[in-house]
């Protein structure tokens, strides 16, 4: 009687293929997690940038109000310091400069705003006084003011600066 021998193929090929597929899927999963994390960090920084811009804008609005809340002309009646109805364009004043504060809005509470005001008076030509307001908002102030002399280390430092001329 003759024994029947079946020809057998190479053994172990299936396990090599399975390991290769597992390694490729693990690398793909790690790449997807990395991209997702980068996207979430970028989104958080974008959101903080928008909040810093709004905080700086609040500083500008505060500074403009402080400059414009003082009347530019004296139209008082009674015992005025100048003649009634006469223009006195130098009665407006810059707020104390620099002034730093934390906005009252809960979403902006992580930011400190520093507002500086410079009044330029045209004494030669008798022109109007020009006010330059600069508002800087940051999330890591130094000594309670923005910007810090040395920016804070790390990738999450956010600063926005707005300048307005009145």
Residue 134: how many other CB atoms lie within 10 Å: 20
pTM of the entire predicted model:
0.71
DSSP lists the bridge partners of residue 146 as none
Q: DSSP 3-state assignment of 105?
A: coil
pLDDT tens-place string over residues 74-129: 555 544 455 544 555 556 778 788 889 999 889 998 899 999 999 988 777 777 88
Give residue for tokens 């006010």. Answer: 131
What is the Cα–Cα distance from 46 to 57, expressed in whole angstroms?
A: 17
Nearest to 141 by CA among 157, 117, 163, 161: 157
Residue 106: how many other CB atoms lie within 10 Å: 7
pLDDT tens-place string over residues 119-154: 988 777 777 888 999 999 998 888 888 887 777 667
Q: Do residues 112 and 99 make contact, with C-beta atoms less than 8 angstroms apart?
A: no
Q: Do residues 114 and 59 make contact, with C-beta atoms less than 8 angstroms apart?
A: yes
Q: Is a pLDDT exceeding 90 seen at residue 15? A: no
């Amino acid at each position: 009687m003759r024994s029947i021998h079946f020809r057998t193929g190479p053994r172990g090929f299936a396990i090599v293929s399975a390991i290769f597929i597992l390694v490729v899927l693990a690398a793909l999963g790690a790449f997807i997690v990395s991209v997702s994390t980068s996207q979430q960090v970028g989104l958080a920084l974008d959101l903080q940038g928008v909040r810093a811009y709004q905080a700086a804008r609040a500083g500008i609005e505060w500074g403009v109000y402080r400059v414009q809340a003082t009347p530019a002309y004296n139209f008082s009646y009674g015992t005025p310091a100048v003649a009634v109805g006469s223009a006195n364009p130098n009665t407006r004043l810059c707020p104390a400069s620099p002034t730093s504060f934390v906005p009252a809005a809960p979403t902006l509470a992580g930011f400190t705003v520093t507002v500086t005001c410079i009044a330029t008076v045209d004494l030669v030509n008798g022109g109007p006084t020009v006010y330059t307001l600069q508002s800087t908002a940051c999330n890591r102030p130094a000594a309670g003011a923005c910007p810090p002399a040395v920016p804070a280390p790390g990738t999450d430092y956010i600063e926005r600066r707005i300048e307005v001329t009145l």
